[in-house]
């Protein structure tokens, strides 16, 4: 199946990574669960081993599943097409993908620069120095002046987790100069944002979220150029971070509905955000579609839409937040996001718990802040559930 003339993301989501189906005589993605592959030609096997360990995208013999898997490779090909990059490398989780990027960066420089806020575990990994490469936290205003000969990478997340603030990717790329920029684009997906078109060298997704979309697979993927892909594959081969083929199969199977899911959830989020903003229990709503986040003007230019994530601050603080978590019945009180069902969680107590209190406060992660990942349910049912929970929040506040 060829799609040389297909350019719209919706079409690519359906057909990308399926180019060899006609030759194979199949219509659904094949699932290869092999852990090892026969080596009847030793010379060919030796050459294949050397190529894969060296970061090659493929070889005549896959040798061993830690080095290559065809089901994973098809998903990677699809993600590269969707992000407009020459390559993509998949991992067993979003944090495995982030770790591989940082390990690769450590071979190219002595420190990374990063902007807050980031996903809590990404922040913790950088701040802890566990991977041996230190971080310097910067803002967009001081980024250019912070770049030096030892800077290995610039790390940003936009929309930011959990505040939904936006960062101007093109401006960051200009300020970074020759230093590669990594953009965690999990919240946006390639449906709403393509950082590589703006100059980012690495586009990271926690594929667990929207790309999976059904709460049944943990994965990460980095869309990038061939140079970075080779290094990331070397790291993946050495550290064992390969995505399991069943996860790749589920991800590839789910890509055709990605645009439908993202746009329906986004439309629901627009309406939920407006209703939350008018509710007396809510002090503020952070949502790009309301213009209530930093750089909201990037919606319509950098981003094709505001997305389906929002955050809202409750007047009653932690007490009210706990009441909401206990009162929702349709929405699921749980971490993660991007699923077909609505998820609500408390960043200060859960996803960003590993971030120190002072930094939480600096980033606007307060005791009353809730993060809502709006799903594709009917919006009136969602609102009825949230409205009941907000009544419980006001009662808890009064008590």
| Catalytic residue set | 66, 119, 184, 209
Q: Please, is 277 exposed, middle or buried when counting C-beta atoms within 10 Å of its C-beta (0-12, 13-18, 19+)?
A: middle
DSSP 8-class letter at 313 = E
Tell me the C-alpha distance between 120 and 138, whole Å.
17
DSSP 8-class letter at 28 = S
For residue 26, give every residue at least 6 positions away whose Cβ sits within 8 Å of its Cβ, in sequence order, or none: none
How are strands ordered across the β-sheet holding 151-157? 87-91, 220-224, 202-206, 181-184, 151-157, 111-115, 135-138
- E strands, 231-384, are 282-286, 309-314, 332-333, 343-345, 369-373
Contact status, residue 219 vs residue 207, Cβ threshold 8 Å? yes
How many Å is the maximal CA-CA distance in the chain?
76
């Amino acid at each position: 199946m060829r799609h040389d003339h297909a350019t719209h993301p919706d079409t690519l989501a359906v057909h990308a990574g399926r180019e060899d189906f006609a030759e194979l005589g199949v219509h659904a993605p094949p699932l290869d669960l092999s852990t090892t592959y026969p080596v009847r030609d030793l010379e060919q096997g030796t050459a294949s081993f050397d190529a894969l360990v060296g970061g090659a995208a493929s070889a005549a013999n896959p040798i061993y599943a830690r080095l290559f898997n065809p089901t994973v490779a098809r998903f990677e090909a699809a993600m590269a097409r969707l992000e407009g990059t020459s390559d993509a490398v998949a991992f067993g989780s979003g944090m495995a993908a982030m770790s591989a990027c940082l390990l690769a960066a450590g071979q190219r420089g002595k420190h990374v620069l990063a902007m807050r806020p980031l996903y809590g575990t990404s922040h913790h990994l950088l701040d802890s120095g566990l991977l041996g490469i230190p971080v310097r936290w910067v803002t967009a205003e001081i980024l250019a002046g912070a770049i030096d000969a030892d800077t290995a990478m610039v790390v940003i997340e936009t929309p930011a987790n959990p505040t939904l603030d936006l960062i101007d990717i093109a401006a960051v790329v200009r300020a970074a100069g020759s230093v590669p920029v990594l953009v965690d684009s999990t919240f946006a997906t390639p449906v709403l944002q393509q950082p590589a078109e703006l100059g980012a060298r690495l586009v990271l997704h926690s594929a667990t979220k929207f790309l999976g979309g059904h709460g049944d697979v943990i994965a990460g993927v980095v869309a990038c150029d061939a140079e970075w892909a080779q290094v990331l594959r070397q790291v993946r081969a050495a550290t064992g971070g390969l995505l399991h083929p069943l996860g790749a199969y589920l991800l590839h199977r789910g890509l055709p509905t990605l645009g439908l899911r993202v746009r329906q959830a986004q439309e629901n989020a627009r309406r939920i955000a407006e209703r939350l903003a008018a509710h007396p229990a809510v002090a503020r709503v952070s949502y790009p579609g309301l213009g209530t986040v930093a750089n909201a003007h990037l919606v319509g230019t950098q981003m094709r839409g505001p997305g389906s994530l929002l955050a809202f601050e409750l007047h009653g603080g932690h007490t009210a937040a706990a009441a909401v978590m206990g009162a929702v019945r349709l929405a699921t009180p749980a971490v993660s996001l991007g699923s077909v069902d609505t998820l609500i969680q408390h960043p200060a107590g859960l996803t960003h718990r590993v971030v120190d209190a002072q930094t939480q406060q600096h980033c606007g992660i307060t005791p009353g802040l809730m993060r809502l990942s709006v799903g594709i349910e009917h919006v009136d049912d969602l609102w009825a559930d949230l409205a009941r929970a907000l009544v419980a929040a006001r009662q808890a506040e009064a008590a």
